[in-house]
Every structure is written in C-alpha cells, then in structure tokens.
C-alpha cells in the first residue's frame, strides 16, 4: 500500500505545473458496504462498532506476523523515556545539559517511534518479515513527512482543546465555580473537553497513514483525513475506541492511583517525569491502534481514490497549496546539499 497518490502530482518542483486537486464526496462504507444514512441510529452504531471490531481483529492478526519486531520497537523507543526517568530520579545537576538531554530523549521516544510502528505494521500486513534494522532505516526516510503531518494534526487538535481548557481555567477562578452547581459545571466542562479531544483525534487518525503509506504531502494528508473520516466517522471512531480504550483506561487509572498515593520525593519524581511515563505507556497502546488503523486505511483510502477517479478532483484550498509550497524547501535544500534528486514535498 505504499504506492503513490495517483493524481497528487498536481504539485511539481516547477511551480508553473499546478493542477487543482482536492476531495470528492465519499459514501459511508465499511468493508465495501455502503452505509445508508436513512437507517436508524442504532443500526449505524451497531454496524460501525462491528466494523471497528473487525479492524481491531485484523490488526491483532497483523501483529502476530512479526511479534518480536514489534516488541523490539516498543522496547527500543521506551528506553529514551526511561532514561529521562533515571536522570530525574538520580537528581543529576540542574542546568542546560540536563534540560536539553531530557527534552531530546522525550522527543526521540515520542516522535520517532510511530512511523517505525507504521512501517513494521505495513510490512506484516502484506506478510513480509523484514528485520528491525530494515524498519528503522525505512521509517527514518519517512520521518520528516510524518513530523510535518503531525504538526498539522497537533494544531488541529490543540486549537479547540486549548481554547476549552483555557476557558475552564478562567472559569475555575470565579467564585461561582466553588459552589455545588459550579462543580457540576466544571465536571461537564471537563467531559466536553475529553469528548472534543477524542472526536478531533479520530478525525485526524488517518492523516499519517495517508501521508506515509499513500505518499501524499503532509498538509494535504491532514486535510484528506478530516474529509474522509467525516464520511466514514463511525468505523474510524469505533476502531480508535476499541483498540485504544481497553489499554488507555486501565493505564490512566494506574497513573491516577500513583498520583493519589505517592507522597514526598516520590511524588515529586512522579510528576516531574509524567511526560516520559506517558510516552512509555503509549508504546503499549500504539501497536494495536496502528495495526487496526492500517487495516482501516487499506479499505478506506483505495476506495476514495477510485471514487475520485470517477468523479474528478475539486480544487485544493489556497492555504493547503501554500503549506505544500513551504514544505518543498527542506527537500530542495537537502537535495542541493547531498546532490540528490528532490524527493518531493514534506
């Protein structure tokens, strides 16, 4: 499924060779079956949940193809976060070196690992069994595009979630927030923040898969993920909840338990290393989530491309065009430095 995005060549190195591209209407479908919007909500939820369960099952079957490679990636990229915990617990001298070191280790653990999982899952999905080094090498080549795509989805996530969070902080400073009714409002507000976060994350879930496996520029992949997932939201949402929820909820309970029971220096180390601990915990969530989402991607994206081949390609928004223009600069600079052909935009 690493074939190029047929038709995205609307954006060439030559700025004069643009051809409009965008998205067309996608029917709600699961495993090739159209979802009729006229049916009851209960039926749609049941079908979506069934689709999510099937993608989760397919994902687990994929992980069983190369389990040791998946575990090796988990352990390898958990080590930098574990290093952060050790540095903090050992109370090494404060200063720029410690701050820079822990920041780099956290970024290495959180940012580099996902694309490695994606490439390993894609190979296993096709029945191939390359070794760990192959996935590290292959994933590293796609890392710039993954990071660029992730920057877009991060902004899309944190704009609404950040605004709601800042609103909650401001509200909790008011006298009314201390009353019983005010506490109820705070709880509901927190629930809304959580719901919005899950919804937005579901809408951008396919973005890195479209960018890396579909070979689509990151800016356009983020847009396409939003559009496509909006039309098959039920299966996407169900896949996300079914694969991430059973692991994330118990882990959150464990974190909360430590936070409520630890005291003194142990609590200080726990809170200071919370980001690193979260990155380690995410390593447990990511394999089943990535594998199930890849199975979803292999159903949704080829169908989308086939539909566009029949119905045409509306124009890409100007902002996305500009972002793709910007994303040409790093590859061109790298090509000039290493005397290699330009690989394409990020």
Binning the chain into helix, strand and coil, the percentages to the nearest 5 are 75, 0, 20
The whole-number average pLDDT for the span 131-156 is 93
Given this model, what pLDDT does residue 314 score?
63
How confident is the model at residue 227, as a pLDDT?
92
> Would the pLDDT of 205 be above 80?
yes
For residues 62-72, b (16+ Cβ closer than 10 Å) or e, as one string?
A: bbebbeebbeb
What's the first-to-final CA gap in the chain, in angstroms?
Answer: 19
Question: Tens digits of per-residue pLDDT, 262-272?
Answer: 888 888 889 88
Check whether 30 has a pLDDT greater than 60: no
Which pLDDT tens digit goes with each residue over 297-344?
Answer: 999 999 888 888 888 876 789 999 999 999 888 888 877 777 666 667
> If you search the block for the tokens 């970024």, which residue do you land on?
107
Going by their DSSP bridges, the two strands 29-30 and 33-34 should be labelled as: antiparallel
pLDDT at 330: 85
- pLDDT of 39: 63
Chain mean pLDDT for the chain: 85
pLDDT at residue 234 is higher than 80: yes
pLDDT at site 34: 44
Q: Residue 14: pLDDT band by 50, 70, 90 thresholds?
A: very low
| Tokens found for residue 90 | 């050992």
For the chain, the residue count is 346
**Strand, helix or coil for residue 30:** strand
d(CA 259, CA 273): 12
Identify the CA nearest to 217 among candidates 75, 81, 100, 316.
Answer: 316
Contact 230, 28 (CB under 8 A): no
Tokens representing 86 are 């050790």
């Amino acid at each position: 499924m690493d074939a190029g995005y047929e038709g995205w060549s609307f954006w060439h190195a030559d700025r004069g060779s643009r051809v409009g591209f965008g998205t067309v209407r996608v029917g709600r479908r699961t495993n090739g079956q159209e979802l009729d919007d006229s049916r009851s909500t209960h039926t749609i939820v049941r079908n979506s949940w069934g689709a999510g369960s099937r993608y989760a099952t397919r994902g687990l079957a994929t992980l069983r193809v190369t389990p040791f490679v998946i575990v090796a990636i988990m352990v390898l990229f958990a080590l930098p976060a574990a290093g952060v915990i050790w540095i903090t617990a050992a109370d090494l001298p404060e200063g720029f070196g410690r701050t820079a070191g822990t920041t780099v280790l956290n970024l290495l653990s959180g940012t580099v690992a996902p694309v490695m999982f994606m490439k390993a899952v894609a190979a296993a999905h096709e029945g191939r069994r390359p070794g760990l080094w192959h996935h590290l090498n292959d994933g590293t080549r796609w890392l710039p595009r993954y990071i660029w795509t992730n920057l877009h989805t991060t902004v899309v996530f944190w704009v609404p979630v950040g605004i709601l969070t800042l609103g909650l902080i401001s509200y909790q400073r008011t006298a009314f927030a201390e009353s019983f009714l005010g506490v109820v409002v705070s709880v509901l507000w927190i629930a809304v923040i959580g719901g919005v976060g899950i919804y937005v994350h579901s809408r951008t879930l396919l973005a890195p898969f479209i960018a890396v496996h579909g070979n689509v520029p990151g800016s356009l992949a983020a847009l396409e993920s939003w559009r496509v997932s909006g039309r098959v939201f039920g299966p996407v949402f169900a896949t996300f909840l079914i694969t991430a929820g059973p692991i994330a909820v118990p882990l959150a309970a464990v974190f909360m338990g430590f936070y409520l029971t630890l005291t003194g220096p142990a609590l200080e180390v726990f809170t200071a290393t919370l980001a690193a601990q979260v990155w380690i915990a995410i390593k447990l969530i990511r394999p089943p989530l990535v594998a199930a989402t890849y199975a979803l991607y292999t159903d949704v994206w080829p169908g989308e491309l086939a539909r566009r081949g029949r119905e045409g390609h509306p124009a890409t928004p100007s902002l996305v065009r500009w972002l793709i223009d910007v994303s040409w600069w790093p590859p061109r600079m790298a090509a000039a430095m290493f005397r290699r052909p330009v690989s394409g935009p990020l």
